Amino acid sequence: MNKNLSLLILSQVFGFTAANVTVFLSGIIGSQISPIKSLSTFPPSIYVVGIALSTIFAARIMSLIGRRLGFIFASIGSSLSCLLAAFAVYNNNFIIFSLSCFFLGTGMAFIHQYRFAAAESVEKEKAPKAVSMLLLAGIVSAFIGISLANYTKDLISGYIYVGSYIALACLTIMPAIFLSFYKNLKEKSNDKETNLKMRSYKEFLSDPRFIQAMFAATFGYVVMAFLMTATPISMHFVHNISVDKVGIVIQFHVLGMFLPSLITGNLVNKFGYSKIMYGGVFFYILTIILSLFEPTFLNYFLSLIFLGIGWNFLYISGTSLLVTTYSQHEKFKAQGFNDLVVFSATAIGSLSAGILISMTSWKIINFMCIPFLILILFSIIRADKKNPSN
């Protein structure tokens, strides 16, 4: 633990509330104010699109002005986006609400870079544990964000959920305060590395370990976002389960996403990246198997916990492996490219979730995830054959 890592963890607690509340509320609000029922999941989906389209931009901005200022500006922008969302809900304006979700996604593109900043704040062998500690803060974030959103939803009488976004604006401005004390790390590169040509995207993709890291994070995130986006709609509108119970499921899903971080970093160091990725795929398979049973509250509850654990194993191992596949002078290019792929694919999965859950069923959309698991397994096996050391 050091000062920068401590500040990043504190910022994650408050900054990541935007993601939790967006997942929890935006689909429900969208279904209430959308002029077209099939567009009810458009706000959470356009949020992911905002992340995808802003990843290269976020990496580029921070390569020019440094992580500190980039993170501070993103925090301020996220807070203003929450106020825009409150205005949109107050006026039942679906277009402005969707736009606010897009801007929240832009801010989240910067927040997702916290994990790389955390990995860079320690020695490379300690990167898995640093990333785990950062993601562990997501537990506090989930319970603060969703609980406060529920508690303040009737803050403005007659305008449900307006108060939720006003409260969220107060939470998302906090990282700007914490990160004003963050210190940009001085670039450390030797003369040989400085004179090296930066690799092209094609050259990155020719590295089996880079592909393995990117596939684990990408398809792990796609499956998680696809099923998580569909969950509130499937539970509340298809199976008539109360919003309060939906909130409990999402909270414990996020708990499943982040609580394993207590041990995931140590597991990666002990067993290696590939074995932890296999573990993530295993938990996803459990999620799919549970979809064969009756879609009760308990079924959703367990499924979403397993979904969260699977995501944790794949995301932490993928992120930790990625930082070993590039040189210091390539980091912003490699990180930006990785996140562009991760969140572009995730956006497509999230956008399709609402349409597919209305056309099919919970069981079918679970089985649609199997090809993504096969791709993850293929990338692990291929990389291990090329370089069995990991």
Alpha helix (H) ranges present in the chain? 3-15, 17-33, 42-65, 67-90, 94-111, 114-120, 127-151, 162-172, 174-178, 191-194, 201-205, 208-232, 243-258, 261-271, 273-290, 297-322, 331-359, 362-367, 370-386
Q: What mean pLDDT is predicted for residues 250-269?
A: 88
CB 175 within 8 A of CB 193: no
Q: Of 369, 386, 354, 374, which is closest to residue 26 (Cα–Cα)?
A: 354
- Which tokens is 70 given? 């980039």
**pLDDT value at 292 more than 70:** yes
CB 136 within 8 A of CB 261: yes
pLDDT at 328: 83
Residues 6+ apart with CB under 8 A from 85: 97, 100, 101, 104, 165, 168
pLDDT at 259: 87
Phi/psi zone of residue 189: left (φ > 0), alpha (ψ -120 to 50 degrees), beta? beta
Give the sign of the dihedral formed by CA 188, CA 178, CA 46, CA 317. Answer: positive
Q: Taking the domains of the chain in order of start, what are their residue ranges?
A: 3-176+199-386
**pLDDT value at 389 more than 80:** no
**In whole angstroms, what is the distance from residue 184 CA to residue 279 CA?**
35
Phi/psi zone of residue 298: left (φ > 0), alpha (ψ -120 to 50 degrees), beta? alpha
**pLDDT value at 190 more than 50:** no
**pLDDT value at 18 more than 60:** yes
Question: Where residue 54 falls among pLDDT bands split at 50, 70, 90?
Answer: very high
**pLDDT value at 169 more than 60:** yes
Q: Which residue has the tokens 């609400």?
A: 97
1.20.1370.20, 3.30.750.24, 1.10.10.60, 1.20.1250.20: which CATH number matches 3-176+199-386?
1.20.1250.20
pLDDT at 317: 95
pLDDT at 390: 59
> Helix 273-290 to helix 297-322 angle, to the nearest 10 degrees?
160
Residues 6+ apart with CB under 8 A from 100: 81, 82, 84, 85, 88
pLDDT at 189: 45
pLDDT at 195: 55
Q: Which of helix, strand or coil describes residue 389?
A: coil
Cα–Cα–Cα angle for 42, 97, 141, rounded to 5 degrees: 85
Q: Of 135, 172, 151, which is closest to residue 25 (Cα–Cα)?
A: 151
- Tell me the per-residue pLDDT of 336-360, one tens digit each, with 9 for 90 and over: 899 899 988 988 887 788 788 878 8
pLDDT at 237: 78
Q: What mean pLDDT is predicted for residues 253-273?
A: 89
More confident residue, 2 or 381: 381
Question: Where residue 185 falls among pLDDT bands split at 50, 70, 90?
Answer: confident
More confident residue, 310 or 38: 310
pTM tops 0.75: yes
pLDDT at 191: 42
* Cβ density class 276-314: b for 16+ within 10 Å, e for less: bbbbbbebbeebbebbeeebeeebbbbbbbbbbbbbbbb
- Tell me the per-residue pLDDT of 56-80, one tens digit each, with 9 for 90 and over: 899 899 989 999 999 999 999 999 9
**In whole angstroms, what is the distance from residue 15 CA to residue 164 CA?**
15
**pLDDT value at 49 more than 90:** no
Question: Where residue 225 falls among pLDDT bands split at 50, 70, 90?
Answer: confident
Residue 263 C-alpha from the chain's centroid: 19
- Tell me the per-residue pLDDT of 100-109, one tens digit each, with 9 for 90 and over: 999 999 999 9
Cα dihedral 47, 247, 220, 175, rounded to 10, equals: 60
Residue-wise DSSP of 69-93: HHHHHHHHHHHHHHHHHHHHHHTT-
Question: Where residue 212 falls among pLDDT bands split at 50, 70, 90?
Answer: very high
